Structure 1
């Protein structure tokens, strides 16, 4: 089965991009270092290689374009005529012919200049010939720029065409605009064709797929056709005519008997008779749509006569195909709004098409080869006794019992009876196979560290929780009563009132100062203490503040200024005793203790595990988190890793210098 997938066609570059691609590839994949001191044969070989390489790249690219675009004479006539309708096959062939001519001209240019380079007598002469050769090749590509742009537009449009298999089982829908064709294909397939209440909503072919008797059928929705001369039809209508002319399909001719499409039954009947030659050798069904607005029985005599004439022509077409003059399934009615008769129309079309395809295969020459492979084995009777097919008695009894018993309830039925989804929860234990059915709903013990958790559950936990909640309520009530108490100035003395006013004033100033600092914290730099010009953090100022509060600042000043000095006396020497009187065991213990202290003092801070930390690894992670939290912000406005970076747009292969022969494997 041939599949036409136009989406695989390679993108066609423009003329300028074409030249840039080829010349850049030549510069990257051929040597770039040459000196005038080289032998003349080496110089000739250097520039001949450049010319040949450029010609080969042009040839490969142009050959790819010519081969990937379909030849109208080699593909199926449906696609050939469809491409002709959409793009005009003369222009299409002319563009591909120009590409082919340019490929041949570039080959001749390369051949001529390679011949001239064989007789180049200097570096300058060889370089001039190489420049001339590449320049003429680029000029040829520039001249075919419009053809390349035209082919790229065709490629983009062809990629949007539906994938239609001309040899598959196909149902074709045709008729006047706005008669319900797109609504029908949306009903029977998963296609999503736009449906609007005006004519020519569908402007191209749309494909959907449906199943009938385990076989896949493709359903094609065609644009609407008007009853006018062939030469006056536009591209949209010609797409439908092309599909009707070339596809072996079951044709559904839609007829709007209500007239709501804007066209009368007379006009639709005239269209049917004008294109009935396209229905030859195809199963034809006339579908009267929109019966919800106008039933078929309610038509006038004139309209009914036209519908009958169309039905007669359809029967004649059926007889011409070799079928029996049967009017069943030739004229059908339906309504896509109410879904009345939609499935019947689909089944009738699929059945008619399937029968026709079987008849065609039976009349073909290949059927004899197939019949030779079939062998139907018929057993010989061993006696004259008849043995009709029968059902065992046990099976019949089982069926009778099942029919007599009440229908088994499903989980869905139980869910509906018990409140529906979200309320009913299905029991997963009802099908457990246990020694006793009463055990199914028992609570399963939770085991933790080898112990049953239920053994440690306090049965009075709920009562104790209520007591705690009651105590908590009483405590909250007491706090509310305390909060309601406010101090007024009636019970305070004059000095206490002044102190209270001063405290409140000082508190409000501190709050305001803190809010100002907080609002400007991000933009305010961190100033070291040695650069504190306001002298806010000095020992003298601390002493003045403590004195103003009525406290003696001497001890605080001494603690801040004095340095910790090591005691000159050691343990055991302060009592004035002689060192010789010290016990030997006491000396050993002192040495051991001093050794431990020295080891602890000499340890690196990274090796010390703080309290509350499990091991050194956890301590390392904690220090890492601490360092990240204490890292100062970048207030110098330097570029960081999260800043936007505009990279250098110069490609490396064009600005990285010269390369010698043999250095082509850079990547």
Structure 2
């Protein structure tokens, strides 16, 4: 977890903005009007409050700056030296010291002028001393404006620094410029470091993250280092040296054996020997890069001798248990970032060696010794010298083979692999005869596509089917016509058929109307001029057919009256029965009112408690309602005006751009 997050440091305003922020806050947060008729104690309190409030605001802002910037003596040495390389810690401490001195000076000024205000006795002196106090405070801030500007530049640069955790698992890449360090980190992590064919493309530290054995590793790409004395190295090279000195990491020293970087193997070997003192007690791997241009076996004997010397030195850097040098496996590796050959092997070797070293160090610590004392590993004693290897019964193996279901992948491997074997999609068809599964389905029949075949009589058949369904539905729904078994006359049969046909048509229209009910607007009944199903309309239609509509209209009206009557009369509910029982059994009037409130929840008084709500009494319920209303008040206040409101914001606040000025004053204060 990253311990240092420099992006959270508050913005440092310059001197002029600092003064404007503090004075405008003082003007807004303290009373602004005083009259000559006030008592002298009230005038004194007014101006003392101005001075004290200004001093408090200055103290808070300056304290925030001092506390949020890191103290070089308290943070990790890696970040301490890195900040010293980038910004010069003397200048950094001097700027923070000036901020601290200004904070103390402002406190002394406020203390002195409050004492003067206590001993003054006129409105004129109060005004003069208040102006003098605020003026001296602003003068102190103006004097440290250069330090504020310097700290703001440092804050901006620190916010762009990478988030490096000095205590986590780390892989560090170093070497000469243009040997392939940035290409390697781009291959094994999701970092996007700029790669160019010239030296010093990377000018600062870059961080990426990779996974190995379900653990997260941070990979740091350092700028290139040249073989020269420490005092001659620039800031870019010193960033790499700082990381090598302070970070406990696995180091990958990149060696360009092709010479395309512009430096020979002898120069790179000299750099390795000059910085090997920084690599002690760290897992070190020498990576021979760009083998696509020049394989390791093809270099000259002198260069091979230098590489072998570097390998022997790398083996001596990490001392294993018992003071013996580590084995030479994985100390010298070859790879090519262009063809990606050996890239993963280099990453795995670095992570594995780092993990082994960290486990070994942890096992030697006192904390681990205390933990191991609590464990006891039981080792069974041998009864005899007979070997007893693990054995699985044959019955268990046979049962496992039977339970194992052959998958399509197994069948594919048995029958020639992908591209040769094609899985059958028809073998799971549910047919009456399994032999029909592999039948070939005809696609073209008589010159026509089978899937596009169209029956010329299909429309007639559909009409017949719809007619049959309509008649069947009409017979099911039609309960009004009760025939007593006597055969009807031909005229009556025609009238009955006409009525049933008309009824089926009305049913279809009603279903269509019902299916589109959600998309149609609701029209009040008195404005609905297109009402189709009314008794008058039914009477007119029956008269046209030649039937007497009187009985039908009377029957429909009697049904509607019966339905309305049933709506008016409500059967006794279970709750009513409970209430009646409660009225009889409970002598207390208050309990009867509570039982009635379960039925009439809408007519509750605000303090009435309903069983099941969780309130002890009415006072507790009233208190809960008040707290709920109070909690919403602040949110409602904050939501009065926002960016989305159609209002022109007040860009020129009155307290900043208006007020009396004496003769000769051009500043607004």
What band does the TM-score fall into relative to the shorter chain? 0.5 to 0.7
Shift of 1:146: 1.1
For residues 23-422 of structure 1, the aligned pairs below 5 Å read: 23-319=23-319, 322-377=323-378, 388-400=389-401, 407-408=408-409
Structure 2: distance between partners of 1:33 and 1:166: 57
Residue aligned with 2:185, SS? helix
Flag the structure with more relative contact order, 1 or 2, with Cα contacts below 8 A and sequence separation at least 6.
1
CA distance 1:224–1:426, shift in 2 (3 Å): farther
Structure 2: distance between partners of 1:378 and 1:361: 25
Shift of 1:310: 0.9
Structure 2: distance between partners of 1:155 and 1:31: 36
Structure 2: distance between partners of 1:410 and 1:58: 80
CA distance 1:158–1:436, shift in 2 (3 Å): farther
Structure 1: distance between partners of 2:453 and 2:352: 76
Residue aligned with 1:203, SS? coil
Gaps of 5+ in 2: 438-451, 461-522, 533-643, 661-669
Shift of 1:648: 3.8
Structure 2: distance between partners of 1:397 and 1:318: 52
Provide the residue aligned with 1:635 in structure 2.
none
Shift of 1:367: 1.9
Residue aligned with 2:282, SS? coil
Structure 2: distance between partners of 1:222 and 1:53: 49
Residue aligned with 1:253, SS? strand
Structure 2: distance between partners of 1:203 and 1:152: 22
Stretches of 4+ moved more than 4 A in 1? 377-388, 398-411, 416-420, 424-427, 434-438, 459-462, 464-467, 605-608, 610-614, 642-647, 652-658
Q: Please, what TM-score do these two structures have when normalized by structure 1?
A: 0.63
Shift of 1:37: 1.4
Provide the residue aligned with 1:519 in structure 2.
none
CA distance 1:313–1:613, shift in 2 (3 Å): farther
Provide the residue aligned with 1:463 in structure 2.
456
CA distance 1:313–1:324, shift in 2 (3 Å): closer
CA distance 1:611–1:234, shift in 2 (3 Å): farther
Shift of 1:379: 6.8
CA distance 1:460–1:257, shift in 2 (3 Å): closer
Shift of 1:139: 1.0
Shift of 1:326: 2.0
Provide the residue aligned with 2:575 in structure 1.
none
Kept after mapping to 1: 8 A contact 2:47/2:130: yes
Structure 1: distance between partners of 2:32 and 2:268: 73
Gaps of 5+ in 1: 442-458, 468-604, 615-641, 659-667
Structure 1: distance between partners of 2:246 and 2:35: 66
Structure 2: distance between partners of 1:364 and 1:188: 32
Structure 2: distance between partners of 1:435 and 1:45: 100
Shift of 1:349: 1.0
Higher alpha-carbon Rg:
1
Provide the residue aligned with 2:584 in structure 1.
none
CA deviations on 1:214-265 (whole Å, 9 max, x unpaired) are 2211111001111112111111111000000111111100000001111111
Aligned residue-pair number:
468
Shift of 1:324: 3.0
Residue aligned with 1:199, SS? coil
Shift of 1:655: 7.5
Residue aligned with 2:527, SS? coil
Provide the residue aligned with 1:651 in structure 2.
653
CA distance 1:425–1:177, shift in 2 (3 Å): farther
Provide the residue aligned with 1:569 in structure 2.
none
CA distance 1:340–1:30, shift in 2 (3 Å): same
